[in-house]
Amino acid sequence: MKNIVLFGPPGAGKGTQANFLKETYDLVHISTGDVFRYNIKNQTDLGLLAKSYMDKGELVPDQVTIDMLGDVVANNPDANGFIFDGFPRNTFQAEALDDILKAYNAEVNAMIALEVDDEVLVKRLLKRGETSGRSDDSSEEIVRNRIKIYYNETAILKSFYDQKGKYHGVNGVGDIDTITQRLNAVIDTL
């Protein structure tokens, strides 16, 4: 099983790249943000709860997110591996992910981070907001709050995985194909 945490600030291109990687390496792509948005669309209890946090650009409570992720992993017993996109977002979630995978005799093999400058991110996210219908992409204040939370709460995960020798930074600026090739070059060494 090959399990990859695809990491990087909002707007770094994780979703776009995950779509290529899952085909190339036959992995299941789990985006916690997408699962929340699906639940919001279908007006589930989980969706209603998540929406109150997501609308402000804040994180959904850890245990809610961890339970949801554990369910998605459990529902894919034949997976070759996973691309975790948007999860973990803090150390508590990272430790929970280790526990979830341990139950399958598996582990996170690598965290691959797409590195993109803040001002490029703000521009990309606001542009995406013009067409995506995502309310958390439509206001500069909320976009900047999400980037701030990433640096305050999430970026610490870089050292969590670095200490285990699992962190790989990849330049996330350039055309989509070039970035995919950079990611493939890292995954091929795992």
- Enumerate binding residues for ligand AMP (CB under 6 A): 10, 32-33, 36, 53-54, 57-60, 65, 86-87, 89, 93, 136, 146
- Tell me, yes or no, if 134 is annotated catalytic: yes
182 is catalytic: no
Tokens for 66? 């961890």
For residue 166, the minimal CB distance to ligand AMP (Å) is: 18
Q: In this structure, what is the dihedral angle of CA atoms 120, 14, 84, 57, given to the nearest 10 degrees? A: 50
The least distance separating ligand AMP from the CB of residue 84, rounded to whole angstroms, comes to 9
Residue closer to ligand AMP by CB (options 64, 106) is 64
Alpha helices in the chain (DSSP H): 14-25, 32-41, 45-54, 62-74, 91-102, 118-132, 140-149, 157-162, 176-187
> Is residue 89 among the annotated active site residues?
yes
Beta strands 28-31 and 4-7 are unpaired
As measured in angstroms, the least distance from the Cβ of 47 to ligand AMP is 11
From 51, 134, 144, 166, the catalytic residue: 134
Q: How far apart are CA 2 and CA 104, in angstroms?
A: 12
> Measuring CA to CA, how many Å separate 74 from each of 23, 34, 63, 101, 104?
21, 17, 16, 10, 9
Residue 97 CB, shortest distance to ligand AMP, in Å, is: 10
Q: Which listed residue (51, 124, 128, 158) is catalytic?
A: 128
Q: Please identify the residue of the shown chain whose CB is closest to the bound ligand AMP.
A: 33
**Cis amide leading into 88 (omega within 30):** yes
Of 46 and 136, the one with the shorter C-beta distance to ligand AMP is 136
Catalytic residue ranges: 14, 89, 128, 134, 146
